[in-house]
Amino acid sequence: MTATTASTSAAARLSSATIRGYALGSVGTGGFATLPGLVLAYYLTDTLGVAAAAATVVVFLPKVLDVVLNPLIGSWSDASAHRTGSRRRFLVVGAALLPIFFALTFAVPDGLGTAAGAVWVAVAFIASAMAFSFFQVPYIALPAELTHDYHERSRLMAWRVAVLGVAILLFGAGGPELRELGGGGRWGYLVMGVVAGIVLGLGMFAASRVAPSRPASTAVVGGGVPFAASLRVVRSSGPFRVLLGAFALQALATGTMLAGAQYVATYVLGDERSVSILFAALVGPAVAVMPLWSKSVRAWGKRRAYLLASTLFLAAAVALLGLMTGGGWWVYAVVALAGVGYAGMQMLPMSMLPDVISDHERSESGTARAGAFSGVWTAVETVGLALGPALVLAILAVTGFVSSTGDEDVVQSDTALDGIVLAFSVAPAILTALSIVVLLRYRLAAEDAHAQNGNHR
């Protein structure tokens, strides 16, 4: 019997409580990935008065730490699971610390000048990223340990991404609304940071409860391998390198579109608060079409479904170039099409990752390093998402965008407005096109077996 034809019933179907608990972790991962990407650059340039070039450094450099930290946490997580039988303690530490540092990121006191405020944000954001990594790395490793079934992983990820979509709506649309309810300006951002931080922490605590516990001697075969050896294990997997490359390019593409949305809302559509409608247009369809992406996996396999999702997102990004001639209702329709593709671009690679880990485990005679794989995965994702705002700010700096303190009404030049559209449309389109080229090289035994099984139906 092939890996993909093994029945779910024989592979112990995941309980509703496990799926629900794991999915709630996406409140934390989705919220932290979305809200800073949406408002942090704008907070720096249009509330604190930080120049676009300097804001680029503040937004991006703190996340560079994750390149080293996340694989290291993955190695620690593997070793801890080997000793104790569970990754739960890492999840709890992240859930406890993130709300505190997230609130501090948006708590720059009124008396601080521009430079000091930029330093405050950078330090608090570094601490937030570290706390988030303690949760995110073992969280991404859990699916490979919760089930070994090809389709159960798709089911688990479908629910996770559905909740992720709700979280993106909640934080993407609700975050700016909280800012306005708090009075706008620095106080508004503080209210947003405190409330959002609490919600992030609650979702993360819920996910920590489903972390499996096993006898320590059988938790992770090969646990305790040194950090450098963990990276060598990851580099030895060709399918992982391909999948990671495609996912990294798409993280940068979506991070760029997220960061550009607030500037499009304010300067192209003429309404700062229309960013909430943009997010509803993006994520609302994403939640609704998730069952269709699950069905597409059974019909075509994960790789082909992933290629389709990426192509839909690419087409929508290209169409958004029409913003050069002005906005209108059509913008939200095109963003909704991007949302259909975005849903698949979130669910499918995340359900393919545990397949890759299991493939490596089989080829290496049982040596499982789920933490090492997830550590590298989350490091690359984090940098990609962080590079998104940095890329937007770099484009704005080159095209002549003028920053303000929030009390000023600045009229942007035509070149600056074109730069905003390029950052929101062309940059994500190019990055997504490159990711499709990379994804065409993805090969895995589970995918081949699924395709064979489909051809013999």
Residues 126 and 264 in one domain: no
- Domain encompassing residue 450: 226-456
Residues 273 and 322 in one domain: yes
The residue among 212, 243, 263 that closes a domain is 212
395 in a domain, yes or no? yes
Alpha-carbon span 199 to 99, nearest angstrom: 8
Residues 237 and 194 in one domain: no
Tokens for 245?
């490359």
Q: Tell me the mean pLDDT in the region 115-120.
A: 89
217 in a domain, yes or no? no
Q: Check residue 267 and give its pLDDT.
A: 87
The residue among 212, 241, 266 that closes a domain is 212
Mean pLDDT, the chain, whole residue set:
83
Residues 272 and 341 in one domain: yes
For residue range 29-85, list pLDDT tens digits in order.
Answer: 889 977 887 788 888 888 888 888 788 788 777 777 888 888 888 888 888 877 877
Q: Tell me the mean pLDDT in the region 175-183.
A: 83
Q: Tell me the mean pLDDT in the region 236-240.
A: 84
Residues 127 and 251 in one domain: no
Residues 256 and 366 in one domain: yes
2 in a domain, yes or no? no
218 in a domain, yes or no? no
Q: Tell me the mean pLDDT in the region 282-298.
A: 82
Q: Is residue 244 a contact partner of residue 376, using CB atoms and an 8 Å limit?
A: yes
Structural domain count, the chain: 2
Residues 201 and 236 in one domain: no
Residues 155 and 242 in one domain: no
Alpha-carbon span 213 to 87, nearest angstrom: 8
Q: Tell me the mean pLDDT in the region 290-299.
A: 86
171 in a domain, yes or no? yes
Residues 33 and 62 in one domain: yes
Least confident of 24-38, 210-224, 290-304, 361-375: 210-224
4 in a domain, yes or no? no
Cα angle 220, 224, 226 (rounded to 5 degrees) comes to 135
Output the domain CATH number for residue 75.
Answer: 1.20.1250.20
Q: Check residue 217 and give its pLDDT.
A: 44
Cα angle 264, 270, 275 (rounded to 5 degrees) comes to 50
62 in a domain, yes or no? yes
Tokens for 423?
């950052």
3-state secondary structure of 68: helix
Alpha-carbon span 153 to 266, nearest angstrom: 40
Q: Which residue has the higher pLDDT, 315 or 381?
A: 315
pLDDT above 90 (res 433): yes
Confidence class for position 341, pLDDT limits 50, 70, 90: very high
310 in a domain, yes or no? yes
Residues 198 and 252 in one domain: no
Residues 324 and 413 in one domain: yes
Confidence class for position 185, pLDDT limits 50, 70, 90: confident
Residues 340 and 199 in one domain: no
Q: What percent of the chain has pLDDT over 70?
A: 87
Tokens for 267?
């300067």
Alpha-carbon span 399 to 322, nearest angstrom: 18
The residue among 164, 180, 212 that closes a domain is 212
